[in-house]
Structure 1
Amino acid sequence: VLIIYLSVLYGTYVPDWQFTVQNPESPDFGKHFVVECGVRGKLNPPCNAVGYVDRKVLGINHLYYHPAWRRSKACTANSPYEGPLLENAPSWCHAPFEPEGILSSISAILSTIIGVHFGHVLVHMKNHTDRLKHWVSLGIALLTVGLLLHFTNGGTADSTLVYWIQKHVFIGVWHSKRVGMLLYV
Structure 2
Amino acid sequence: MEAKKEIEVATERDAEVVLQVAGEGGNGGKEEGRAAMDVSSRSRRVAALDAFRGLTIVMMILVDDAGGAYEKIDHSPWNGCTLADFVMPFFLFIVGVAIALALKRITQVSAAVKKIVIRTLKLLLWGLILQGGYSHAPDDLSYGVDMKKIRWIFGCVAFVVYMATTYALYVPDWSFVFHREGDVNDGKRFVVKCGVRGNLDPACNAVGYVDRAVWGINHLYTQPVWIRSKGHSERLKHWLLMGFGLLICGITLHFTNAIPLNKQLYSFSYVCFTAGSAGIVLSAFYAMIDVWGIRTPFLWLEWVGMNAMLVFVMAAQGIFPAFVNGWYYETPDNSLVHWIQRHVFVKVWHSERLGMLLYVLFAEIVFWAVVAGILHKLGLYWKL
TM-score interval, smaller chain: 0.3 to 0.5
TM-score, normalising length: structure 2? 0.17
> Which of 1 and 2 has higher RCO (CA within 8 Å, sep 6+)?
2
TM norm structure 1: 0.33
